[in-house]
Amino acid sequence: MSDLAMTEKPEPAADPLDALVQGGGDGYKYGFVTDIEADEAPPGLDEGTVRFISAKKGEPAWLLDWRLKAFHRWQRMSPPDWAKLNIASIDYQASTYYSAPKTGTGPKSLDEVDPELLKTYEKLGIPLGERAALAGVAVDAVFDSVSVATTYKDKLADLGIIFCSFGEAVREHPDLVRRYLGSVVPQGDNFFAALNSAVFSDGSFVYVPPGVRCPMELSTYFRINAAKTGQFERTLLIADKGAYVSYLEGCTAPQRDENQLHAAVVELVALEDAEIKYATVQNWYPGDENGKGGIYNFVTKRGACRGARAKISWAQVETGSAITWKYPSCLLEGDGSVGAFYSVAITNNLQQADTGTKMIHIGRDTSSTVISKGISAGRGQNTYRGQVKVMPKADGARNYTQCDSLLIGKKCGAHTVPYIEVRHPGAKVEHEATTSKISEDQMFYCQARGLTQEDALSLIVNGFCKEVLKELPMEFAVEAQKLLAVSLEGSVG
Amino acid sequence: MSKLLEIRDLRARIVGGRDILKGIDLDVAPGEVHAIMGPNGAGKSTLSSVLAGKPGYEVTGGSVLYQGRDLLALPADERAREGIFLAFQYPVEIPGVNNMYFLRAALNAGRRQRGAPELDASQFLKAVRDKLKLLDISDDLLRRAVNVGFSGGEKKRNEIFQMAMLEPKLAILDETDSGLDIDALRVVSDGVNRLRDANRAIILITHYQRLLDYIVPDHVHVLSEGRIVASGDKTFAAELERTGYAHLGTAA
Ligand SMILES: Nc1ncnc2c1ncn2[C@@H]1O[C@H](COP(=O)(O)OP(=O)(O)O)[C@@H](O)[C@H]1O
Ligand SMILES: [Mg+2]
């Protein structure tokens, strides 16, 4: 993999963290540069930075202490190097860790937005108003969508469901936040989780009370502006006993102004008989055909099935980012709890993905299912890395893992790295893996029925991903299908 | 009657290989059914692949006009949208892609090309119901992934069903009869016969005379070693049945 451009230090000003607020990299190119010095932390990361962030957000002392503890842990840690990724070294001191929301600093109208970007939105079928929001245009349409969120919030409040920004949760529901923050992903879990714990900007908070079935899909989509405030989001989602919630995360459009590190943490807690479905469609900017730019997506996502019969399912469609490092996992603590991971990951051009899951069977009769579909095109490198661990007390634990890789072209790579650790003799662990190439016969068959090369490829790829796509909420599945097609553009012919 | 297809001295090979087609001449008018017979390895599938535009083949000489246009200049998908349909000798499986979904995508691709409005799900379903009766195809087959787990007979029936839906101007049926038992052969042949139309030409490729008992062609040709070595009317097939191909040799 030494021929990959990612191993080289990118052009000046394209340091992954540099563009955070400085307008480096693509942020500059697309006209998002604005003088916002007054609202920035000084570059670099030390205790002062953490205090600055916490003070800016008006946080209580306990949270500042929590951040500082995380920061001190982080100082003693080093970035993980076990993934099959080539990562240009990141200078964490050269970056800026706090910037005020960009509201009002973006382009004033759609005319000022890069037409290429708009074309992509159009291809994705995103309505005009939302396209404006996604491009960061400070027009009323954006705020329309904020008020939409507020409307839903009232409806949800009637059911006792809390759905708000992380910052708001800290102010309004400090007890819940304190009880669960860091309870699934400890601060010192890994380098990026520690970094996030120290400097996280904002994120989402969800609490569904006992026995309540959340009547609608919750989505960060409505709060796209808030999500843009930082690359260190923190999501905390709690389903109390017998509650049900389905959550959609992500932005299905390229975020060209955020050409840098994205280190989020997501924690899910499902109590007895609760069920959480968490779906992500990730399409951050992947960099150009030569591997310049793009997001480094280092995300820690984990759910704990804390009560008996709790269920957590992760579904993800990962098409963006220059580098994806992501292992949404389940801690199956409660007896009879159930974990699932459904994933589609695409790498095209010089994209790299190292993604998978961890299923940790702790309670009795716990079961987990893993379906992973990796698609590599161009010179993309795609690794499935998954761990199944069965602890000594997990009587009757079962896991089924199916890992399929699809190669498009000759220069890409697919890798499967399963770690199976079984400490209970009765555990039933199955692993199946396949690697196939898009066959010319399939392409020709489709073309002989009138489908263009692009449509044929998209059809075959969507078919390959079927088992995962059907786990996504309906409206998301349609978007995901279009996204797959867009992501693979230019990979044949 | 003006020609739908005019093949002149067509020579072709698999890229990098020796010529397989060594000078084919064939004229097909709308409404005509031409049978092309010949032993295994004669070049029948190569001819159909070249006409359909399969990648990996190289035309080394000659020309093909379709509706007066240079067919060989068009990519495969455009040929299909312009009304050329190839029923595959070995239909290809596409896992995870619903058969109906596939067919609708194909149908609408052709309609877009013609400037006709696309069919929505319910219009499409209605069209499907009408054609299903033609071929004794079960609903179940439509709900499955394209050709996945289909029996040999089901695959062939599905090809003809696609043909019925897509309503091509020129259908090339490559050994549609092979692997069919007598009942399936009858069903498929009935289907094809119902699709015979004054505006549609059919090229039937087979190496069994048996098929021609069910689908009676207007013309019969013998392809051998890359050339058409003999042609005749529908009675010619029966004659071949008696005499075989061997004596025809590889006449120039
Ligand atoms: N993929 C291939 N690679 C190399 N030779 C091939 C290939 N397909 C067919 N051939 C050769 O081309 C000739 C014609 O084959 P084909 O067109 O399939 O004949 P038919 O359909 O009449 O049985 C045969 O000699 C066959 O061996
Ligand atoms: Mg053949």
pLDDT band at A29 (very low <50, low <70, confident <90, very high): very low
- pLDDT at position A2 is 26
Q: Which ligand is nearest to the CA of B55?
A: 1
Q: Is the pLDDT of residue A36 over 50?
A: no
Distance CA A68, CA B53 (A): 66
Distance CA A27, CA A21 (A): 8
Scanning A435-454 for CB atoms below 8 A from B yields 439-442, 444-453
Scanning A382-441 for CB atoms below 8 A from B yields 439-441
pLDDT band at A146 (very low <50, low <70, confident <90, very high): very low
Contact B106 A467 (CB under 8 A): no
Does the predicted interface ipTM exceed a cut of 0.90? yes
Q: CB contact, 8 Å: B119 with chain A?
A: no
Other residues' Cβ atoms within 10 Å of the Cβ of residue A48: 11
- Tell me which chain B residue has its CA closest to the CA of residue A441: B92
- pLDDT tens track for A310-348: 999 999 888 766 677 788 999 999 999 999 999 988 877
- pLDDT tens track for B157-184: 999 999 999 999 999 999 998 888 888 8
Q: Which atom of ligand 1 is nearest to the CA of B46?
A: 17
- pLDDT at position A17 is 25
Going by C-beta distance under 8 Å and a sequence separation of 6 or more, which residues neighbour residue A470?
A: A477
DSSP conformation letters of A174-227? HHHHHHHTTSSS-TTSSHHHHHHHHH---EEEEEE-TT-B-SS-EEGGGGHHHH
Between A4 and A488, residue with greater pLDDT = A488
Q: CB contact, 8 Å: B55 with chain A?
A: yes
Query: H helices of B2-52, where?
Result: 44-52
User: Alpha-carbon Rg of chain B, whole angstroms?
Assistant: 18
Between B130 and A364, residue with greater pLDDT = A364
Between A216 and B74, residue with greater pLDDT = B74
CA of B41 to the centre of ligand 1 (A): 5
Query: H helices of A160-204, where?
Result: 166-172, 174-180, 191-199
- pLDDT tens track for A258-313: 446 778 899 999 999 999 999 887 766 666 666 666 667 788 999 999 999 999 99
Best residue among B10, B11, B13, B14 to mutate for probing ligand 1's pocket (most ligand atoms within 8 Å of CB) is B14
Give the residues across from B66 on adjacent strands: B5, B69
pLDDT band at A118 (very low <50, low <70, confident <90, very high): low
- pLDDT at position A168 is 87
Three-state secondary-structure class, residue B101: helix
Q: Which residues of A touch B76 (CB under 8 A)?
A: 444, 447-448
- pLDDT at position A172 is 93
- pLDDT at position A112 is 60
Q: Is the pLDDT of residue B198 over 80?
A: yes
Between B71 and A215, residue with greater pLDDT = B71
Distance CA B63, CA A318 (A): 47
Distance CA A118, CA A128 (A): 9
CA of B20 to the centre of ligand 1 (A): 7
Q: What residue ranges line ligand 1, CB within 6 angstroms?
A: B 14, 17, 20, 38, 40-46
Contact A449 B109 (CB under 8 A): yes
CA of B190 to the centre of ligand 1 (A): 29
Distance CA A201, CA A99 (A): 9
- pLDDT at position A154 is 72
- pLDDT at position A49 is 87
Angle formed at CA A55 by CA A134 and CA A102, multiple of 5 degrees: 20
Q: Which residues of B touch A460 (CB under 8 A)?
A: 94, 97
Of the candidate ranges A353-367, B68-82, B129-143, B158-172, the one whose mean pLDDT is the lowest: B129-143
Angle formed at CA A221 by CA A300 and CA A201, multiple of 5 degrees: 50
Contact A455 B92 (CB under 8 A): no
Residue bearing the CA closest to ligand 1, atom 1: B14
Q: Which residues of B touch A451 (CB under 8 A)?
A: 77, 105-106, 109
Q: Report percent pLDDT > 70 for chain A.
A: 68
Distance CA A316, CA A357 (A): 11
Inter-chain CB pairs, A–B, below 8 Å: 80
Q: CB contact, 8 Å: B228 with chain A?
A: no
Distance CA A18, CA A11 (A): 11
Best residue among B14, B20, B245 to mutate for probing ligand 1's pocket (most ligand atoms within 8 Å of CB) is B20
The pTM (predicted TM-score) of the whole model is 0.77
Q: CB contact, 8 Å: A459 with chain B?
A: yes
Mean pLDDT of A121-144: 43
Residue A291: phi and psi, rounded to 5, are 80, 15
Q: Which amino acid is at B227?
A: R
Residue B162: phi and psi, rounded to 5, are -60, -40
Measure CB to CB from residue B88 to each of A445, A447, A463 and give the nearest one.
A445
Residue with tokens 């007054």: A38
CA of B47 to the centre of ligand 1 (A): 10
- Tell me which chain A residue has its CA closest to the CA of residue B92: A442
Q: Which residues of B touch A470 (CB under 8 A)?
A: none
Other residues' Cβ atoms within 10 Å of the Cβ of residue A78: 7
| Tokens matching residue A65 | 């202490």
Q: A272 and A309 in contact (C-beta within 8 Å)? A: yes
Measure CB to CB from residue B80 to each of A441, A449, A465 and give the nearest one.
A449
* Maximal CA-CA distance, chain A: 67
- pLDDT tens track for A70-105: 999 999 988 877 666 666 666 777 666 666 544 444
Q: Which atom of ligand 1 is nearest to the CA of B56?
A: 1
Contact B77 A460 (CB under 8 A): no
Alpha-carbon distance A360 to nearest alpha carbon in chain B (angstroms): 30
Angle formed at CA A86 by CA A346 and CA A330, multiple of 5 degrees: 55
Alpha-carbon distance A431 to nearest alpha carbon in chain B (angstroms): 20
Distance CA A67, CA A383 (A): 32
The per-residue pLDDT of chain A, averaged, comes to 75
Q: CB contact, 8 Å: A464 with chain B?
A: yes
- pLDDT at position A413 is 81
CA nearest B12: which of B69, B89, B72?
B72
- pLDDT tens track for B75-120: 999 999 999 999 999 999 999 999 998 999 999 999 998 899 988 8
- pLDDT at position A418 is 85
Q: Which atom of ligand 1 is nearest to the CA of B48?
A: 17
Beta strands A323-326 and A338-347, pairing class: unpaired
- pLDDT at position A491 is 63
- Helices and strands of chain A, counted as H and E runs: 14, 19
A29-38, A111-120, A215-224, B237-246: which has the highest mean pLDDT? B237-246
Angle formed at CA A131 by CA A380 and CA A246, multiple of 5 degrees: 75
Residue A441: phi and psi, rounded to 5, are -65, -40
Best residue among B10, B13, B46, B208 to mutate for probing ligand 1's pocket (most ligand atoms within 8 Å of CB) is B46
Between B248 and A368, residue with greater pLDDT = A368
Q: B210 and B121 in contact (C-beta within 8 Å)? A: no
Going by C-beta distance under 8 Å and a sequence separation of 6 or more, which residues neighbour residue A208?
A: A161, A214, A238, A239, A240, A243, A244, A245, A274
Q: Which residues of B touch A465 (CB under 8 A)?
A: 96
- pLDDT at position A119 is 59
Between A409 and A173, residue with greater pLDDT = A173
Measure CB to CB from residue B52 to each of A448, A451, A455 and give the nearest one.
A448
- pLDDT tens track for A430-464: 998 888 888 889 999 999 999 998 889 888 988 88
Q: A281 and A252 in contact (C-beta within 8 Å)? A: yes
Distance CA A359, CA A419 (A): 10
- pLDDT at position B219 is 95
- pLDDT at position A380 is 79
Of the candidate ranges A154-158, B45-49, B59-63, the one whose mean pLDDT is the lowest: A154-158
Mean pLDDT of A471-485: 73
CA nearest B3: which of B25, B24, B29, B26?
B29
Q: Report percent pLDDT > 70 for chain B.
A: 97
Mean pLDDT of B220-234: 91
Q: Which residues of B touch A471 (CB under 8 A)?
A: none
Q: Which ligand is nearest to the CA of B89?
A: 2
Q: B82 and B74 in contact (C-beta within 8 Å)? A: yes
